[in-house]
């Protein structure tokens, strides 16, 4: 395999693997470099929600593009990633949250997201299993869920079948601009070169962006997941509670094998240095209590496993996506703040377009890395990452 390409993609999560895939469809040569295995971090351990509703309006154009890819994933990739276009429903317990559902639905329509808001008798006719404290529901019929274990590796394999050089178990420690492009070096001294570089290294991206004078205030946290024993497959909708009271939030989806996957509540600690995220037992207890409040008939179900993953958050909950503000040919995509799985393939296709054609119709201004300024040095960012972790 050659050590030189048009583009080097650093990070083999859903963003990196899908970008490599779409770059190959544009006939750009690509080296995709992953420290461990593709999909090993957040992209492989998340809840699997393919949810557009509830996103900032600024993300909806990209999110719609992503949904279109999820619908075509099997034919694009030649593999089933268990995408189920089940619909996604948000419910709430408080009047001000119900008002927000109506406001959001009106605003989102202009961005191509059609939602139906139900309350009263109509709500319980549609979802008779819901606890009677539920006040309103916002239904997004075209959203759904998919299997995170399968998705990023499938994009990686499809990119490799199209000719991408997929390098796993290579930890990139240095990225430098040189005449004609970039030099990228691993911890063991291996070197690759390319005209363009995309850094999509999730919770670890800040250490690399700081090398170009663009530190970011990334913090790491671990969303808390649980899965129940299997029961007959009845719940097609992926569903979650929207609330400003963090402890009340819970969401679930049932997979056709019968297990219910749960998430929600306060996140737990996540350590970028050891690459470990923990589940706090108290969070699981609270999650189950809220699940019983939401669907009382499922109260007897046993949780059989819990887990978490290292996710990167930015202060405004918007990701960084787009070109570097200091260095031509360098691009970023990270900091998805708990919701990068759904949007990931849309980011990948948009970045492939941007790197290849030089522009895209998807608005990227809200996601610019320049919004964080260029103050801290590389050294101070390393210290910050360690203390967060
Ligand atoms: C428990 C949990 C539940 C979630 N639920 C949902 C959900 O339901 N829906 C949703 O939309 N989002 C969800 N998310 C968020 C979503 O999983 C992430 O936002 C998304 O996967 C981020 O993808 P990524 O490719 O940017 O990062 P990652 O998946 O973290 O991939 C980055 C990759 O870069 C690699 N890397 C890092 N540094 C280097 C280096 N120096 N050299 C080489 N490789 C490197 C890492 O090993 C990693 O594989 C959840 C996240 C978690 C943790």
pLDDT tens for 243-295 read: 989 899 999 999 999 999 999 999 999 999 999 999 999 999 999 999 999 99
> Is the beta carbon of 238 within 6 A of some atom in ligand 1?
no
Task: Express each pLDDT in 86-139 by its tens digit.
Answer: 999 999 999 999 999 999 999 999 999 999 999 999 999 999 999 999 999 999
Distance CA 332, CA 335 (A): 10
Q: What pLDDT does residue 383 have?
A: 27
**Domains parsed from the chain with CATH numbers:** 4-48+149-216+315-381 (3.50.50.60), 88-141 (no CATH), 223-308 (3.30.9.10)
> Is the beta carbon of 197 within 6 A of some atom in ligand 1?
no
Task: Give bridge partners of residue 320 from the DSSP assignment.
Answer: 334
Distance CA 307, CA 16 (A): 23
> Is the beta carbon of 309 within 6 A of some atom in ligand 1?
yes
> Is the beta carbon of 268 within 6 A of some atom in ligand 1?
no
Ligand 1 pocket, mutate which of 33, 43, 51 (most atoms under 8 A from CB): 43
Which residue has the least CA distance to atom 35 on ligand 1?
11
Task: Express each pLDDT in 328-371 by its tens digit.
Answer: 999 999 999 999 999 999 999 999 999 999 999 999 999 999 99
Task: Express each pLDDT in 293-321 by its tens digit.
Answer: 999 999 999 999 999 999 999 999 999 99
Tokens at residue 378, please? Answer: 């590389």
Which residue has the least CA distance to atom 8 on ligand 1?
49
Q: Which atom of ligand 1 is nearest to the CA of 40?
A: 49
CA distances from 125 to 65, 98, 141, 373 (A): 33, 18, 17, 51
> Is the beta carbon of 48 within 6 A of some atom in ligand 1?
yes
Which residue has the least CA distance to atom 18 on ligand 1?
340
Task: Give bridge partners of residue 117 from the DSSP assignment.
Answer: 138
Ligand 1 pocket, mutate which of 311, 348, 349 (most atoms under 8 A from CB): 311
> Is the beta carbon of 46 within 6 A of some atom in ligand 1?
yes
Q: Which atom of ligand 1 is nearest to the CA of 15?
A: 25
Give the residue with greater pLDDT, 76 vs 387.
76
State in Å: Cα 233 to ligand 1 middle. 29
Write down the residue that tokens 């005209």 correspond to. 195
pTM for the full model? 0.95
Q: What pLDDT does residue 289 have?
A: 97
Q: Which atom of ligand 1 is nearest to the CA of 208?
A: 41
> Is the beta carbon of 144 within 6 A of some atom in ligand 1?
no
State in Å: Cα 297 to ligand 1 middle. 34
Give the angle subtended at the CA of 311 by the CAs of 91 and 160, to the nearest 5°.
110
Q: What pLDDT does residue 192 have?
A: 98
254: enclosing H helix or E strand: strand 251-254
Contacts of 103 (CB under 8 A, 6+ apart): none
Ligand 1 pocket, mutate which of 169, 338, 349 (most atoms under 8 A from CB): 338
Which residue has the least CA distance to atom 12 on ligand 1?
339
Task: Express each pLDDT in 181-232 by its tens digit.
Answer: 999 999 999 999 999 999 999 999 999 999 999 999 999 999 999 999 999 9
Which residue has the least CA distance to atom 3 on ligand 1?
46
Q: Is 257 left (phi over 0), alpha (psi -120 to 50) or beta?
A: alpha
> Is the beta carbon of 41 within 6 A of some atom in ligand 1?
yes
**Mean of the per-residue pLDDT values for the chain?**
95
């Amino acid at each position: 395999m050659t050590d030189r390409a048009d583009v080097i993609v650093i990070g083999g999560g859903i963003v990196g693997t899908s970008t490599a895939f779409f770059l190959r469809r544009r006939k750009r040569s690509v080296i995709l470099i992953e420290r461990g295995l593709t999909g090993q971090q957040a992209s492989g351990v998340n809840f699997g929600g393919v949810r557009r509703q509830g996103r900032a309006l600024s993300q909806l154009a990209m999110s719609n593009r992503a949904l279109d890819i999820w619908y075509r994933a099997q034919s694009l990739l030649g593999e089933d990633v268990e995408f189920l276009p089940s619909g996604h429903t948000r419910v709430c317990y408080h009047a001000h949250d119900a008002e927000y559902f109506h406001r959001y639905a009106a605003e989102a329509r202009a961005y191509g997201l059609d939602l139906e808001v139900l309350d009263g008798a109509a709500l319980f006719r549609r979802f008779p299993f819901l606890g009677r404290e539920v006040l309103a529901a916002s239904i997004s019929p075209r959203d759904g869920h998919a299997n995170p274990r399968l998705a990023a590796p499938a994009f990686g394999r499809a990119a490799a079948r199209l000719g991408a050089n997929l390098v796993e178990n290579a930890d990139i420690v240095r990225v430098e601009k040189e005449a004609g492009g970039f030099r990228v070096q691993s911890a063991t001294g291996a070197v690759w070169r390319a005209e363009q570089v995309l850094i999509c290294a999730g919770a670890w991206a800040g250490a690399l962006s700081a090398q170009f004078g663009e530190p970011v205030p990334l913090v790491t946290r671990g969303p808390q997941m649980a899965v129940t024993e299997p029961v007959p497959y009845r719940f097609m909708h992926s569903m979650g509670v929207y609330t400003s009271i963090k402890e009340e939030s819970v969401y679930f989806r049932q997979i056709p094998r019968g297990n219910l996957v749960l998430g929600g509540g306060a996140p737990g600690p996540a350590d970028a240095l050891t690459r470990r995220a923990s589940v706090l037992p108290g969070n699981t207890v609270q999650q189950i209590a809220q699940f019983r409040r939401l669907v009382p008939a499922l109260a007897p179900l046993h949780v059989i496993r819990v887990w978490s993953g290292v996710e990167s958050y930015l202060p405004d909950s918007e990701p960084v996506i787009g070109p570097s503000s200091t260095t031509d040919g360098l691009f970023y995509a990270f900091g998805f703040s708990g919701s990068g799985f759904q949007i990931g393939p849309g980011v990948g296709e948009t970045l492939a377009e941007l790197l290849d054609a030089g522009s895209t119709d998807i608005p990227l201004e809200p996601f610019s890395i320049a919004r964080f300024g260029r103050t801290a040095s590389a050294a101070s960012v390393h210290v910050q990452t360690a203390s967060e972790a």
